[in-house]
A and B are shown apart, each in its own frame.
Chain A
Amino acid sequence: DTEVTQTPKHLVMGMTNKKSLKCEQHMGHRAMYWYKQKAKKPPELMFVYSYEKLSINESVPSRFSPECPNSSLLNLHLHALQPEDSALYLCASSPDRSYGYTFGSGTRLTVV
């Protein structure tokens, strides 16, 4: 298995909703990442997990809450989002932080 799987592929949520994005990989990668990407912009780093511990939080608002239940799973919990949070959310993994990434196909999030 050489893939990073993200679910759901599309999500529409209201500003008062709580939802979660999921990411899964079975390549034995020990570093996992959340990126946010707006249209025609490069990916922006949000969080880095290394060996299941949060190692980098790029000053992301608390309405985004990451979780790494085990070495294969990465979640992003969403609560009270704003319309400007609408974007493509990408998960990626790498053997450790010294290697290139494998990206998931992303979740297209729309906040209404």
Chain B
Amino acid sequence: DAKTTQPNSMESNEEEPVHLPCNHSTISGTDYIHWYRQLPSQGPEYVIHGLTSNVNNRMASLAIAEDRKSSTLILHRATLRDAAVYYCIRYTGTASKLTFGTGTRLQVTL
């Protein structure tokens, strides 16, 4: 049970921002929110993670709701290389296991 809910698919135009939502309404206080993406025929790639505060790195931004029941992965300018399946995962540090759900398949078009 991945315990997160994401839309099955989303589309974006190239060079436009993309907001990928994730619902994790039953998250506990110690669960981190991790995002990974998987390109076709490759292993997943770590994107970003956070606990309570919004986070930025070179790949993306993570906006976490104040109640932590949802979060949004933001790709500031989508490119064709960003087309992938994006997984939002609750990560309990002590259990250390990632449970992958079905993710969101992002299509990027010209």
Please say whether chains A and B are actual partners in one complex: no
